[in-house]
Chain A
Amino acid sequence: MEGSFLALTLRRFLRNRTAVVGGLVLILLAIAAVAAPFLAPYDPREMHPAERLSAPSPSYPLGADQFGRDILSRLLYGARISLRVGFLSTGMALFLGLLLGLTAGYVGGWADTIISRILDIMFAFPFMLLAVSIMAVLGPKEVNVIITIGVVYAPIFARICRGSTLSAKENEYIQAARLVGASDVRIVIRHIMPNIMAPIIVQTTLSLATAIIAEAALSFLGVGTPPPAPSWGEMVSRGREFMELSPWGAIFPAVAIFTTVLSFNLLGDGLRDALDPLMQRAS
């Protein structure tokens, strides 16, 4: 049964050209990130003050930033940071969200009440304030940025998961399994999770997109990955001060962010369309 669902879904997905383009762009991005040490002409931290803010040229293909560091090299290494932060923070949000949502939806009762209240609290919290406070407590490291973004986005996953679990729970198939005496854990893993996967997958791709923007926002406020790490958000934040003199330092990472985030969004939308019949069942 599941094999043909997969095939059908894949075929529906491939019909959506923009989603496919999005996916391909992301694959290219991943390759560029992995191959950064080979592709980058310079060390991303190497400064050449004499050539600072220079326009694209043979020696600096995308130009140089205010310290004379090669923008292309920083962009390539920055891809690693963006993808790492994006995937790990989303993964963390996903894990926490699944844990909370499944528990709340399946166990119900007091667990649901408590977890729902906790989620309400987290939703009503001003996002930036929460992020900045957590970073101030934990300290300026990439791993803390991941934790912060993961914690802030977990409630979204939890809510989706809880909703889907609640309706999946009413499924006759599951009622039957309980009557037969199957253990809760087995039911959750075998029967509930596959049914809620569709909206979760879609939300994952969308969260990946937002995580990258969130990292840029944190960099702007000074609590992102600490310099001189060439995160794209950091590059755009500092580069914008030189926008009129030498826009390259801001524009190229901005294009990188734009392309990546757009690709994730298109991918997510394509997945949602492709998984449509499954989404109907899960909601």
Chain B
Amino acid sequence: MSKRRFVSTVLVHLTVLGALLLAGCGTPAPTAAPTTPPAVETPSEAPTAGPFPTSGPKLGGELRVSLEDDMTNTDPHFEQAYFGLVVFEQVYEGLLTRGYDMELEPSLAESWDMPDPQTYIFHLRQGVKFHNGREMVADDVVYSLNRIRDPNVGSPWGGWLVSIDDVQATDNYTVEVHLSRPDATLLNTLAWKFFAIVPQEVVEEHDGMLSGVMVGTGPFKLVEWQPKVHIKLERNPDYWREGLPYLDAITFVPILDTTARSTALRTGTVDFCDNVPGQDVETVKAVEGMVTVERVATAYMFLGMNCAQPPFDDVRVRQAVAYAVDRQAYVDTVLFGYGRAMDGGSIPDSNWAYADLHTYAERDLEKARDLLADAGYADGLDTTIKLVAGGPLDEGMGQVAQANLAEVGINAELVPLEFGVLIEQFAINRDFELVVMGFSDFWEPNDFLYPVFHTGEGFNPWGYSNPQVDALLEQAREELDQDTRAELYTEAQQIIVEEAPLANFAQQVIVQGYYDYVQGFQPMADGGKLSFVETWLDK
């Protein structure tokens, strides 16, 4: 009897083991991920694959879109998350917008003049209605811009409008903006949906903060927002662009778990998935009727170094780090090939201000060790890398960086912190040595550099300070001639890359997946912003 009991136990173990192994032997494993990055699509090229539509755009239908995470605030002047931008794109509008090829285009401002370098006159579109029925007029633009600028309101975007002296409505459809100095970045800033035009009465109705309320001029209206559950939008019948939008409704579904997100796309639970995880791209592509588009995004990750205290106040130690990290390994193992190693400045090569520097193109362990020895760390050093806990890219990058640094004698301990705790320690108290960070959705070169590298700026908790760089950046943002600006930015980036306050890792290649019945969708050249204003469903 005892033998049978024994055997049955072993059998159960084996059965469970077998079941688990069977679970693994389903679809044949595809070959290893591509090590060469996918070809960069030229801007405004139509999405690949998918049949041509059988007829013209059809009205109606609901589009279900999955997002990585939810927006955190419906008030555009306070939101900072990319996911907020995605929703704002459908609901709000600003004076300008950016087209699919990243060029600035008119939106609520039909046209604008610049009688002198410090004055802009915006001529507003007439007959544009807010979702509450009222027509948008110049006073709304004045109110919105002043709200952002007002320190008593506390908008985090106020700093982006510091060059503005005042904003006035000269008549119902004309707004005059006076600057304290020339500002080459203003138009680009105004094209960001965080600078949307909102109606004053709605803000005041809600005690000064548009929580849970979205009243804009965009093609879709907010119906319901259940935080972290879904966002439901419906068509705005009074939208100023004739005949648009085609869709009846859009539902955004935040699916935080990466596996669940690609599963939802593969089973048709959602029609459109923004940011398909790299490891699932092949299985997603294999689904019948699936279209995928890939774009080299401006989302990039880097290792930030605290330049204000040892050991990373020594430029040689920072350069050692920059030479020691294996960017391609990060692209291969964490991005699964869907990335582009960054061997120089932060500004990508799709941007006019790109600086053709390949300073860190080759990983050079010997040089790194020499630099460390020069700086007095021949026996290595101990340090910590702080990062956001649970961030899939962050934890992966942290582990790669740690392994890389170990090869040159830098013993780094990973400290994954909860987001709020990280902000508190890293951004507020500057209590860190190395940190895993990333930025996204920059396009204007000034945004890549000024807030990040200018002394004392908000995105500069690494404490980098170089008066020469400061001067160059200040000059560049006031210079209105693009070629001159490009030169200034190249010079600035040369210095910055040399001094390595950050070790840039890689840009992401964003893959969006959707079914071929989703027509009329065009991705942005930088993989950002999802606009569904011209989208329709062929079913």
A–B contact at 8 Å CB threshold (below): yes
Partner-B contacts on A (CB < 8 A): 17-18, 21, 45-47, 49, 52-53, 55, 66-68, 136, 139-140, 221-223, 226-228, 238, 240-248, 251, 254-255, 258-259, 262, 266
- Are B395 and A251 in contact, with the CB atoms below 8 A? no
List 20 A-B residue pairs with CB atoms under 8 Å apart, sorted by A's residue number: A46-B403, A49-B329, A49-B333, A52-B333, A67-B399, A139-B415, A140-B416, A140-B417, A221-B390, A222-B389, A223-B390, A227-B399, A240-B259, A241-B258, A241-B259, A245-B30, A251-B20, A255-B16, A262-B13, A266-B9
- Are A243 and B24 in contact, with the CB atoms below 8 A? yes
Q: Does any Cβ of A come within 8 Å of B539's Cβ? A: no
A246-B29 contact, Cβ under 8 Å, with A66-B333, A222-B390, A226-B415 = yes
**Interface 0/1 of B413-431, CB less than 8 Å to A:** 0111110110000000000
Most buried by B among A46, A68, A227: A227
A44 CB, min distance to chain B CBs, angstroms: 11
- Are A226 and B416 in contact, with the CB atoms below 8 A? yes
Most buried by A among B258, B390, B403: B403
Contacts of B13 in A (CB 8 A): 259, 262
- Are B6 and A21 in contact, with the CB atoms below 8 A? yes
- Are B279 and A68 in contact, with the CB atoms below 8 A? no
Q: CA separation between A55 and B31, bound complex, in Å? A: 12
- Are B389 and A223 in contact, with the CB atoms below 8 A? yes
- Are A227 and B29 in contact, with the CB atoms below 8 A? no
Contacts of A240 in B (CB 8 A): 259
A75 CB, min distance to chain B CBs, angstroms: 14
- Report which of B10, B279, B403 forms a contact with A245, defined as CB distance below 8 A: B279
Contacts of B17 in A (CB 8 A): 255
Partner-A contacts on B (CB < 8 A): 2, 5-6, 9-10, 13, 16-17, 20-21, 23-27, 29-30, 32, 258-259, 277, 279, 283, 326, 328-329, 332-334, 389-390, 392, 395-396, 398-400, 402-403, 406, 414-418, 420-421
- Are B416 and A255 in contact, with the CB atoms below 8 A? no
Top 7 closest pairs, chain A to chain B, by CB: A222-B390, A247-B24, A222-B389, A17-B5, A49-B329, A136-B418, A47-B403
B533 CB, min distance to chain A CBs, angstroms: 34
- Are A227 and B414 in contact, with the CB atoms below 8 A? yes
Q: CA separation between A49 and B23, bound complex, in Å? A: 25
Closest A-chain residue to B3, C-beta based? A17
A51 CB, min distance to chain B CBs, angstroms: 9
- Are B400 and A17 in contact, with the CB atoms below 8 A? no
Contacts of B277 in A (CB 8 A): 241
> Do most interface residues of chain A lie in helix, strand or loop, or is the interface mixed?
loop
Q: CA separation between A254 and B21, bound complex, in Å? A: 11
- Are B27 and A140 in contact, with the CB atoms below 8 A? no
- Are B9 and A222 in contact, with the CB atoms below 8 A? no
Contacts of A46 in B (CB 8 A): 403
Q: CA separation between A123 and B417, bound complex, in Å? A: 27
Contacts of B24 in A (CB 8 A): 243, 247-248, 251
Contacts of A228 in B (CB 8 A): 399, 402-403, 414
B34 CB, min distance to chain A CBs, angstroms: 13
- Are A68 and B259 in contact, with the CB atoms below 8 A? no
Contacts of A18 in B (CB 8 A): 5, 9
Most buried by B among A136, A140, A223, A258: A140
B423 CB, min distance to chain A CBs, angstroms: 13
Contacts of A241 in B (CB 8 A): 258-259, 277, 279, 392
- Known contacts A21-B6, A21-B10, then 12 further A-B pairs from the complex at CB < 8 Å, ordered by chain A residue: A47-B400, A53-B29, A67-B399, A68-B333, A140-B389, A228-B414, A245-B279, A245-B283, A247-B25, A248-B24, A251-B21, A258-B16
Q: CA separation between A136 and B395, bound complex, in Å? A: 17
Q: CA separation between A238 and B395, bound complex, in Å? A: 10
Contacts of A136 in B (CB 8 A): 418, 420-421
B393 CB, min distance to chain A CBs, angstroms: 12
Contacts of B6 in A (CB 8 A): 17, 21
Contacts of B279 in A (CB 8 A): 66, 241-242, 245
- Are B332 and A49 in contact, with the CB atoms below 8 A? yes
Q: CA separation between A238 and B30, bound complex, in Å? A: 19
- Report which of A21, A238, A245 forms a contact with B9, defined as CB distance below 8 A: A21
B377 CB, min distance to chain A CBs, angstroms: 21
Closest A-chain residue to B406, C-beta based? A45
Contacts of A222 in B (CB 8 A): 389-390, 395, 416
Contacts of B395 in A (CB 8 A): 222, 227, 238
Contacts of B398 in A (CB 8 A): 227
Contacts of B32 in A (CB 8 A): 52-53
A244-B283 contact, Cβ under 8 Å, with A45-B403, A67-B333, A140-B389 = yes
